[in-house]
Amino acid sequence: MSARTVTSRLGIAVAAATVFLGVAATATPALADDGANNHPPIYKGRVTAKSGLLLRDAPTRGSRVIRTEPYNAIVPIFCKTGGDNVEGNHLWYLLTDGTWAWGSAKYISNIGAAPRWC
């Protein structure tokens, strides 16, 4: 390989690394610090659906049911997004308990701060 090819490839690699590190450095402050590891916070909510809450694989009423959470269960919430309207509420929460399932915010009461947007 010629010196020019090596220099060119090295320059491309350095430029790509600079862009990647610049994007990572820009994105990092947007994530809330949990006080130790600079990971996004995990919010909590309580299930208010008396018959239990159906958790789905997408923020829509017609998506596949993954599992259910019982009434009054505490659930970890990663973020919120808009989705199908459920009795006047179009927000859905992405739960982070290993299944990454979606639950309608209509039936999850926030404990503490409202989750951030996805």
Does the pLDDT at position 75 exceed 50? yes
Judge if pTM exceeds 0.75. Answer: no
Q: How confident is the model at residue 20 (pLDDT cuts 50, 70, 90)?
A: very low
The secondary structure of residue 31, as a DSSP letter, is S
Average pLDDT score over the chain: 77
Alpha helices in the chain (DSSP H): 3-27
List, for residues 90-117, the tens digit of each pLDDT value. Answer: 999 999 988 899 999 999 999 999 999 9
